[in-house]
Structure 1
Amino acid sequence: MRESARAEDLLDWYDRHARVLPWRVGPAARRERVRPDPYRVWLSEIMLQQTTVAAVKAYFEKFTQRWPTVVDLANAEDADVMAAWAGLGYYARARNLLKCARVVRDDFGGVFPDTHEALIGLPGVGRYTAAAVAAIAFDRAEVVVDGNVERVMARLYDEHTPLPGAKGVLTEYAAGLTPEARPGDYAQAVMDLGATICTPKRPACGLCPWRRSCAAWEAGTAAVLPKKAPKKVKPVRFGIAYLARRIDGAVLLETRPDSGLLGGMLGWPGSDWIEGEPVESPPIRAEWKTLPGEARHTFTHFHLRLMVKTALVPMDRQPVRGVFVEKDAFSPSDLPTVMRKAFDLARG
């Protein structure tokens, strides 16, 4: 007979197998009343949106070393934060990161609010992030549902409704299991279970503390859950990136508008990205050379293929947009990934 899932069983497993993460206060430390830093919890949750733990670790360490408190981050220069974020993707998160830090500094005295209702009013903080910070940082009994939790719940209850339509019912399942005791540890335990045991492919059901409670394990359907609606085919957009270098080595860069993709980031001047032949829009008069190959990148909603053009320009030539950055002040690592790909094509 299948047993009912219990939060206590998962917490017992978590006490032994919790992942060690740079932003986490583990269960043993929490028992010794070591409290998580809400700033570190919030920062990690923003960074982890649509990004893997492996990719986030180095960025998190860099940010917390350079800006150890939310007030330090709020006082930072926008360009410095955007450059430190370069390569992590989904750049609206970085803009909202600064907005949120400044609201916490200015409206809350540099102290994060401790309820879901107050947290969700902060810039860039949605329902999931508010629930995660409230639970993990403040031990509020909030229902925390990310992709890992959705997968665990779909299998635990053998739910075959495809995502994203199943989100509501999966959240209801998660709410029914969320305990009043140790809700912060529990929220992290379910995420750890999904990340290490109840994985998308080849789940390790034999090691799962909820195996005897799992309807999908009993039915033999775990490997095909959660079901997902068919993905739409992504369109392809085309554009041109102009890489101009002055004879003294300075490079021509522009800061992209705050709104839209790569908003607020440094990049090469270029054309609009469209589903057709891009319109030439060179940022400076020069003899432009088209490089063989393309810089290709995939965003959430489309694939991008950039033609890369290069030019060497004299010292007295002025651009119609963008500014020249001195050679010693330019670092390719400050560029978002797609712009680094264009740079690598030009350099190679």
Structure 2
Amino acid sequence: MVCLYVTGMILFGLHSANSLSRFPKLLLISMDGLRYDSISDYTVPNIYRWATQNTWFLRGMRPQYMSMTSTNYMGMVTGLHAESHGIVSNAFYDIDKESGSIDLSYTKEQDSGEWMNHVDEIIRLFTRTMDPANFVAWYIDDPDKTLHKHGFYDGKFIKIMAELDKVFGYLIGQMRRHRLIDKINIILAADHGHAQIGGAKNVLCIREYIDYSRVLTGHNILYPTDKALFDEVYDNLTKAVNDNKLKIKIYTKDTKMTADIIDLYSLMCFVLKIRPAPNNGSLHRIAKHIHLRRYHSWVWDHDERYEYMLLLLASLLIVAIIITICLISLWVVLAWSRSKGDRDYDEESSKSSISI
């Protein structure tokens, strides 16, 4: 599996201008199919300049399995694996209607003119007088749409990348114009990337190197039944790749990547200063890659141990307050009783003196 992902991030100080939300602000831009290593000064100079000035995951991030658009974007905004958020594909079969279904937002044609309008709408959402937005997510269906139709090498990819770069440059220009560039955090991300096969010579027939009767198979994945078989399968595939001089990397479940795509959820919650819902991601895992030093993982990373600790501390505090109130009340009652007793004694003494 090849990890195909890019993200950049800008974190700036905030000060008031226009009608902005008083909460931290974040713009999430998702360019479908934008490979992390397709960013260069030649193809997308505006994006490249912005990425090099900020945080750029040069080796990509670990995507969800399967590496599909809906699966990865749902993982990105929930921090959950596909097994938990339930979006395991782009299309589904509706058992009630007895037909397949797909989100129409992914089939609608977009172009650079429409993207420019999207930029204007984003600016409006952040600066509107009534209820200004503090989080906006923007999805762009290219370069994925172009790559599926044309691949990398007929000139269409370079053209669409230039259009995307122009739109990104327009966004940054509009943010500067409206004095928003130092007030809004930006994350540029993608769900996956593409690779050009280039003919049958670059295709590896796995059945020629693995005995399928000894492994369990799933959709684009192999499940060896024990450690010895795992090592054998891995060694056979690695040798086959090297012998055939293929540009393929064999990944295992434990292969260390820079970070996971689901970790972006914890990062976004941190930027927005909101507590994340229970999730599979980790702020700590991504923080060490973006030099995020000043944070308290126990506040942001959901961990039941900390939930119990906070609940225990809250309970102890409530008990302490109740005990304190009871002690103060008891002291007041005793003081009042003592004072009343002294007054009664003085009155009795006074009556006795008069009688004598």
TM-score range, shorter chain: under 0.3
Structure richer in helix, relative to its length: 2
Q: Normalising by the residue count of structure 1, what TM-score does the alignment of the two structures yield?
A: 0.24
